[in-house]
Amino acid sequence: MDTLVLLGSFFVLMMLGVPVAYSLGLAALAGALWIDLPLDAVMIQLASGINKFSLLAIPFFVLAGAIMAEGGMARRLVAFAGVLVGFIRGGLSLVNILASTFFGAISGSSVADTASVGSVLIPEMEKKGYPRDFAAAVTVSGSVQAILIPPSHNAVLYSLAAGGSVSIAALFMAGVLPGLLMGLTLAALCLITARRRNYPKGEVIALKQALKITVDALWGLMTMVIILGGILSGVFTANESASIAVLWAFFVTMFIYRDYKWCDLPRLVHRTVKTVTVVMILIGFAAAFGYLMTLMMIPMKVTAFITSLSDNKYVILGLINLLLMLLGCLMDMSPLILILTPILLPVATSLGIDPVHFGMIMMVNLGIGLITPPVGTVLFVGSAVAKLSLGVVTRAMMPFFVALFIVLLMVTYMPWLSLWLPRLLGL
Amino acid at 293: M
Query: How many residues does this entry show for the chain?
Result: 427
Beta bridge partners of 201: 89
Rounded Cα–Cα distance for residues 57 and 49 (Å) = 15
Give which of 2, 7, 45 is closest to 23, Cα–Cα.
Answer: 7
State residue 58's pLDDT score. 78
pTM of the model: 0.84
State residue 405's pLDDT score. 94
State residue 246's pLDDT score. 84
* 206 class by beta-carbon count within 10 Å (0-12 exposed, 13-18 middle, 19+ buried): exposed
| 223, 231 Cβ separation under 8 angstroms | no
Range of the domain at 148: 2-424
Per-residue model confidence as pLDDT tens for the chain (427 residues): 777 888 888 888 878 888 877 888 888 888 888 888 888 888 888 888 777 777 777 788 778 777 877 777 777 877 788 787 777 787 888 888 888 888 777 777 787 778 778 887 888 888 888 899 999 999 999 988 888 888 787 888 898 888 878 888 899 899 999 999 999 999 999 989 988 888 877 777 777 888 888 888 888 778 777 777 777 777 777 777 778 888 888 888 888 888 778 888 888 888 888 878 877 888 888 888 888 877 887 777 777 777 787 778 888 899 899 888 888 877 778 888 888 888 889 888 888 899 999 999 999 998 898 888 876 778 888 888 888 888 888 899 999 999 999 999 999 999 999 999 999 887 7
State residue 138's pLDDT score. 92
Element containing residue 80 per DSSP (H, E): helix 73-85
State residue 186's pLDDT score. 94
Q: Positive or negative CA dihedral for 93, 95, 97, 99?
A: negative
State residue 381's pLDDT score. 83
How many structural domains are present in the chain? Answer: 1
Distances in Å between the Cα of 175 and the Cα atoms of 116, 182, 186, 242, 352 are 22, 10, 16, 17, 20
